Every structure is written in structure tokens, then in C-alpha cells.
Structure 1
Amino acid sequence: MGRTVKRIVSVVFAAILLVSVPSCKKSNSESKEFRPKYDANINYKISVVGTYANFESLESEFERFYSYYPNGEIGYTYLDDYSNTIGPALAGQEPPDIYVVQPWMYGNEKYADLFNNAQDLSDEKLDIDLDCIREGVSWEMEDGQILTLPIFATSYGMLVNMDIFEKEGLKVPETYGELLEVSKKLKAAGYESPVMGANTMTTPGIGYTFAYPMFAKTVKDDRSVEDALNNLDPLAGETMRNSLTRLKEFVDSECIDINKCSREIENDYDAVIMRFFEGDVPMMLCSGDVVSGTKKRESKSEAFSNNPFKYDFYIAPSGDDGGYYMDSISILFCVNKNSANIDMTNEFIRFLTSQKELGLMAQEKRLITPTKDYSLDEVYASLSGFPDNRTISFRDTEILDTTVKQFRAAAYAVINNTMTVDEAVEKYGSIAVK
């Protein structure tokens, strides 16, 4: 069987054929052991296309599915320039059976066919256990249909060197006041910058990871400001004030040395991970996507290989009562309702949609599971039971990318003292972005 990942620069990929098979019955809402519906000797082919050049965790799912249906072939294809190639691919003569979508695509006419051609996964006869999906990342359309299956979730926060906290007899801070107190003790113990991160105008950068969740909570609490923010109305800049003020307090405190971060961390991904693995950084601001790169880099870090330590992911404690958890979706799958291979495609999706399988995928990729059970990967155990009143899901706000870029640019300017908080608020809508 061919089980390879191909790099595609055009929209053409190999034809996929499938033998049609009967429909199915409804399962219980609790995740249970997968029970195959069809003859194990059935022959089938299923195609999946997506945005990851390397999707090893999905390929592991293929292998587990083969244990139930060994006479098949599931192929994953990476589409280069995905946002421009997925539409023509779906409209082509040999469309994929399963394809990746992302939340920002919804509502954009360019991607309308991706959702128009998606199967309603909540159809009872499909027997797909959607109850295992966490409410914060479950995406129900206005008409009640569920067209997407969240595969990975992500968030923003910090990697924490748990060995340092144990050595110094400290608890990981949960509130901003505790962060100040802990940082003071860590500095006294010889840690020059208790918190570090990438000084960049990007989502894994210091400003966004620390302050954006607070900004999003402000918008969630008063959604009347959304239109003005999304229209880049300068008066809407006032919405940023509280989060930018806290960010300014943070960078002026003993918690973080911005100059040290700039000198020692040259980018917002690989350099963040490798600097954290040096073992002398108690807390490293980052995104879940950065955390996903840690496992592969443990062996690449000489310092970590020689002196490994336990590390976990926590929400950055920016608020007086605690931090804010952005329960965000990384990628979702849609099933092509016009697929010639629809029945076995549904069977694969039914197999995949469980706390166990989605959890294993997330664990291997080291992203956050979309299910209700965080326990499979202890790196994210701190997220279990996080208070609802400080959690923001992707459905709680409708902040456009233009607004996000203005906030990132404002935060970067405040961090680097090229704008005061007042100036950033007043210039909202016209701040230069990258």
C-alpha cells in the first residue's frame, strides 16, 4: 500500500476510488471502543489533503485504522499554498474525501464552497461521537449543522520549568500579583529574567501571548465594540487600554528583561524552544504551536540532553484574578459530502472521533486535544478545569485579522517604548503593521 505524503504545488493529485458500503446506526454519547461496521476484508481508498508538510500523527491514525480494515489505502497530500489551491482541488475531477479548514475561512466568499460541500457530521445515521468534543471548540452552524471536526486546539501562555519551581520551593503563579512575587524571589535566587519570550510582532511573541487574551476577554464581555474594532475606528482603540496598561506594567517589572530576550532569542519558534531548553528560564512565553515543537527538539538540545527537566504549559497570569485561556482551534477536518468514497470516509471519521484517538493525535503532535479530556498529555494538564469565566473560545468573539494585527503592533510598540499606551490607543486603526 502507498502510504506516503506528497508535496503538491499545483491543484492536481492522484485519483482516489472507493467501494460504496451501507449506512450505520447511532452510538452512545460516551466514547467507547471502536466497533467496525463493515467486513474487515473490504477494499477502499481515502484521500486527505491539508496544510501540514509533515503530518505524522495523522499517519499514525491511518496505521491504527488499518488494524481494523487492512485492505485499504489512506493517502495524505500536502497542498502548497493551501488557501489558493484547496478550492480548485475540491472543484476538480478528483476531489479529496477529507480536507482541512480553518476558522478564518468561514464567511469569506473565496472559501464558501469548502463549507457548502461539507457533510453534516451531526447526522445521526453517521454515528459520529461528537459528544467527546469540548464545547469551546465545537462549531455548530446557525442552522444546527456541524460541518467540521476539530483535530487540534491551541492557546497562548508559557512553558514552565517545573524543576526550577521545585528547587526554589515555589508555586507556579496563578495571578498577576503572584507573578510579581514569584519573579522577585526568582531574581533573588539568581535568575536574571524569570520570564522570557520572543520580542516579535507575532502571535507567539511576548505582547500577544501575555496581553491579547485579556484584550479578547474585554471584547467578549462587551461585544458591542466588535464592529468599531473591525472597522478600525480610532475610537475603538480604548478597548485596548487595560490590556496594554497591564503589558506595560509587566515589562517594567522585575518579571522580564526585554533587552535580554531580544539578544538571546532571535525568532519566535525554534529559538524560543532551544533557549528554554538551556534550563535557566523559569517561564517562557509562547503559543501552543511553539509547544508542539518541543518534543522533536529535546534531543537536538545538548543542554537538555545532558540535564533534562520536567516542563508544563500554563496560562500566563496576566489578570488580577488569574490568566485568560484562549481555547482556540488550530485545524479542522471537513468530509466532502460528494465524495465517491463517502461510506468508508465516514467510517474513518467515526474511528477518529473519540477521546482516545483525537487525544493520541494531539499528544503526538503536542498540541492541545479538542476533547474534554486533557489528561493524555500531562504538559497541558493545567488546562483541565480552567474556570469558564476566564476562558474565551473562538465563538465568543468575532475579531478580524486586521484588528488582531493592530493589537499586535500596538503591543510591540508599547513593549519597545516606541509608543506609550495613550499613543497606541489614540492611533488604533493606523498603526503600521507587518
Structure 2
Amino acid sequence: MSKHITKIISTALVIMLVLGTAGCSQSTNKSKEFTPKYSSDTTYKLSVAGTYSNFESLESVFERFYTYYPNGEIVYTYLDDYSNTIGQALAGQEPPDIYVVQPWMYGDERFDPLFDGAEVLSDPELNINLDCIRQGLRWEMNDGEILALPVFATSYGMLVNMDIFEKENLEVPKTFGELKETCEKLKAAGYASPVMGADTNTTPGIGYSFAYPMFAKKVKDDRSVEGDLNNLVPSAGEVMREPLTRLKELVDSGCIDIDKCKAEIEDDYNAVIMRFFEGDVPMMICSGDVVSGTKKRESKSEAFTANPFKYDFYVAPSGDDGGYYMDSMSILFSVNKNSDSLDMTNEFIRFLTSEKELGLMAQEKRLITPTKDYSLDEVYASLSGFPEDRTVNFRDTEILDTAVKEFRAAAYAVINGEMTVDEAVAAYGTIAGK
């Protein structure tokens, strides 16, 4: 039987991605060697549905699984308009064995079938070992059950041209004070805007990527403010003051030239990467999702091809004592508990969920691994051992999208001089709608 990935844009048929959780040693946090549970001549056909139109890293996992079970096929289906079609797929005559879920779906009644129909991956009888997953990314429901496994994680920070720092004999700054000092030295060395980024009112944009982690940390430290923030109570805007003030200080200090960013970076993804690959930007503010596009674009950049350089991803040093690491989920897999091929679906998940396999998937996609071992991709090596007291994960806060949009709009307004910090704080609840 042929092994391939079928990509289908459909609003009727949907097949989503599975949840993996096995193979991680509880005592050493290193992957155990996978031992097949069934005969190698077992025949099977599994279906996975998701949101990526191109999922090459998953295809690689399929191929490695075939070395243990060669007489089967796993088909991946890309579903267009996923939010509106995954429910139909699960209710259809050929529901997926594995499907993608994302944290924002939980609690929305439109997506209740995704969670109601998900297998409990933490069931001891499944023998799925979740220990390789970082504790902050283990998504336990209120009853302690785990219904979805993180496959990719992401964050916010900056791409750093390590060759520039080596050439100028500088260390990557860890605190905001060090950032300002480093930028002064870089400007003296001829780098007009040591920090750059997309001047957009979006998640990968300068304002959000740099300042939101500090905002989230403040909410984590005082959960009592969440209710008013989420309900857009004007007085809750005070929580934005410190991160917005720090963001304005980044601009006023000359670390970043907003006009230069606006003129040279047209969008918050491709243009960010291609501008960084020109090789003259020491630090590029962005999100981990932007970093995921770097590997494929290296060969598309004439400048990078001619003069390649080493680059890494770092947390932006926004705080006096250091930056804040947003350990965020990107994609999760759930298993259809009503799958006709549940045994082999679970076997695939057991194979997938190890530091090795999840790490390889993340490395190929160039997103952050959800496991405890960052070592497979050097780009993210700086995140290893990041201090817990400056880490924020999805369980630490419950900031709703309405509040997120307000902060993002406020950050954009402040760095572009459309609002002062005082004005943005006072206008909380009305900024995003302007």
C-alpha cells in the first residue's frame, strides 16, 4: 500500500490530528526505545485532519512509523475553514481518527463535540506516558483528564544574528538595561536600528511580541484583575501601564527605529524573515510562528545564500531582571474515542509521544518542542532552563481574546505616537474598536 499524504480542501470531509503521549522515560526524561505492541504485518488505515496546508514534519513521522508497521497507510487531510468544518467531519460517516484542537476552542459550545468525543489520553490503561511533556503544557481538564496533546509550542521574542554579536564582541542582552547598552554600542558600530520588527497591530508585531509577555506576567502575579480585564472595565487598563511604558522606552531609547521598520518591512511574516536575512539586523522582534518560516526561506534569500549566518531565538529582554517566556501551545492532537481503528491510532500516538519524535517534528517545522528537551534545534537552545519565575504558560492566566485585542491595539498606538501611555490606560475597553 502506498504511503503518502493527501491534502484535501473540503467543507464536508474532515480528518484531524492525533494526540500523542508515550515513550518518555519517567526517571531520566530521555526517550525509551519504541517497542511495537502488535505484529509488524498488521494492516491498518488511519486518518488525520488538521489546519496546516503543508504538514511535512508529520509526513516524516508517518514514514518512521512505517518502519515498524509497513502494511498500513496514514492519510492527512487539510481542512479549509477548519473551525466551521471539523464538527461536521466528526459527525460524518467517515470521522477522522486524529484531529487538531487549539486552546481557544475549549469553552466555546461550537467545539464541544471535539472535546466530548476525545479519548482520555491520561487513562492508565492506554499506557501513554506524558512525562516528556513540559508540565506547563500538560492540558488537564477540571477533572484532571488530559484530552489533547501539544505537538508544537510557540512563544514571543526575537531572532538574533549571532554573527553580528560575535563580530562586535557583544553578548546577547538578558535585561532591559543591557539591551539599551547593547543597542548604543551597535548604533556606534553603524547599525541604524539595532532592533527591528513588523510595525503592525498583529500578534507577531513589535508591540505585542515585545510587551505582551510582561503584561501576561503581571496578570499571572495578580489573577484578581482578570475578570475586569476580560469584561473591559476601564479601570483594569492600569495593568497595561508598566508594559506599555517599557515599550515606549524601547522606542524613545533609540533601540528601534519605527519609521525604518515601517518603510522596510511590509508584513508581519515573510517580510520580517527576508529583511532579517539581509544580514544587517542584530535583533528582529517576532513570534515563534514567524521563526517557523525561516528554514524554508534561507534558500530564497539571495543575501543569506551569499552570506549565511548563525541565528537563534531569544526571549526579548523587556524586564529589569530579564525577559518573560510565554510557553504557549500552538497545535494539539486529539484522538477520536469512537475511531474504528482505535488500537492502531493509540499505537501511533504512543510512537509519536516521545522527546525524540516530538522534537524531530518541531525541528522540521521549526516550532518549539512541547517536550522538556530543547536540544534538537539549536535555534531555541536559549529557552532551555529558562527561570520558572519568569515563565508564563497557558494555565497561569485566562486572558480572553477581547482583552488581548485591547492590549495589542494599545501597544500599536503607543509605539506609533497615536496615544500616550496615560491615554491608552484611560481608554481601556475602547481602543480596539477605534
Common fold: TM-score over 0.5: yes
Contact 2:209 2:286 in 1 (8 A): yes
- CA distance in 2 between counterparts of 1:408 and 1:5 reads 37
Q: Amino acid of the residue matched to residue 74 of structure 2?
A: I
Which digits, 9 at most, give the CA deviation of each residue in 1:331-362, with x for residues without a partner? 10000001111000000000000000000000
Which digits, 9 at most, give the CA deviation of each residue in 1:57-85, with x for residues without a partner? 00100000000000000000000000000
Contact 1:405 1:433 in 2 (8 A): no
Give the fraction of aligned pairs with identical amino acids, expressed as a percent: 76
Q: Amino acid of the residue matched to residue 217 of structure 2?
A: K
- CA distance in 2 between counterparts of 1:199 and 1:162 reads 23
- CA distance in 2 between counterparts of 1:93 and 1:234 reads 49
**How far does residue 144 in structure 1 lie from its aligned partner after superposition?**
1.2
Contact 2:51 2:82 in 1 (8 A): yes
Q: What corresponds to 1:424 in structure 2?
A: 424
TM-score, normalising length: structure 1: 0.96
Q: Amino acid of the residue matched to residue 6 of structure 1?
A: K
Matched, 1:403 2:403: yes
Contact 1:26 1:125 in 2 (8 A): no
Q: What corresponds to 2:337 in structure 1?
A: 337
Q: What corresponds to 1:205 in structure 2?
A: 205
Q: What corresponds to 2:298 in structure 1?
A: 298
1:202/1:26 CA distance change after superposition, 3 Å: closer
**How far does residue 5 in structure 1 lie from its aligned partner after superposition?**
2.6
**How far does residue 13 in structure 1 lie from its aligned partner after superposition?**
5.5
Gaps of 5+ in 2: 16-21
- CA distance in 1 between counterparts of 2:323 and 2:354 reads 29
- CA distance in 1 between counterparts of 2:102 and 2:348 reads 21
1:174-185 matches, within 5 Å, as 174-185=174-185
- CA distance in 2 between counterparts of 1:242 and 1:390 reads 16
- CA distance in 2 between counterparts of 1:37 and 1:283 reads 48
Q: Amino acid of the residue matched to residue 214 of structure 1?
A: M
Matched, 1:359 2:359: yes
Matched, 1:286 2:295: no
1:34-433 matches, within 5 Å, as 34-433=34-433
1:433/1:75 CA distance change after superposition, 3 Å: farther
Q: Amino acid of the residue matched to residue 172 of structure 1?
A: V
**How far does residue 9 in structure 1 lie from its aligned partner after superposition?**
2.6
Q: Amino acid of the residue matched to residue 10 of structure 1?
A: T
Contact 2:277 2:298 in 1 (8 A): yes
Gaps of 5+ in 1: 15-24
**How far does residue 199 in structure 1 lie from its aligned partner after superposition?**
0.1
Runs of 4+ with deviation above 4 angstroms:
25-28
- CA distance in 1 between counterparts of 2:68 and 2:396 reads 39
Which digits, 9 at most, give the CA deviation of each residue in 1:89-141, with x for residues without a partner? 11111100000000000111111111111111111121212100011111111
Q: Amino acid of the residue matched to residue 115 of structure 2?
A: F
Contact 1:26 1:127 in 2 (8 A): no
1:176/1:13 CA distance change after superposition, 3 Å: closer
**How far does residue 8 in structure 1 lie from its aligned partner after superposition?**
2.1
1:4/1:275 CA distance change after superposition, 3 Å: same
Contact 1:26 1:124 in 2 (8 A): no
Contact 1:27 1:127 in 2 (8 A): no
TM-score, normalising length: structure 2: 0.96
SS of the residue corresponding to residue 7 of structure 1 reads coil
Which digits, 9 at most, give the CA deviation of each residue in 1:215-255, with x for residues without a partner? 00000000000010100111111110100010011111121
Which digits, 9 at most, give the CA deviation of each residue in 1:260-314, with x for residues without a partner? 0000000000000000000000000000000000000000000000000000000
- CA distance in 1 between counterparts of 2:226 and 2:90 reads 33
- CA distance in 2 between counterparts of 1:61 and 1:33 reads 15
SS of the residue corresponding to residue 331 of structure 2 reads strand
- CA distance in 2 between counterparts of 1:33 and 1:214 reads 40
**How far does residue 433 in structure 1 lie from its aligned partner after superposition?**
4.6
- CA distance in 1 between counterparts of 2:123 and 2:425 reads 47
- CA distance in 2 between counterparts of 1:123 and 1:191 reads 55
The alignment covers a number of residue pairs equal to 424
Contact 1:291 1:367 in 2 (8 A): yes
- CA distance in 2 between counterparts of 1:117 and 1:13 reads 14
- CA distance in 2 between counterparts of 1:26 and 1:266 reads 44
Matched, 1:6 2:7: yes
**How far does residue 28 in structure 1 lie from its aligned partner after superposition?**
5.4
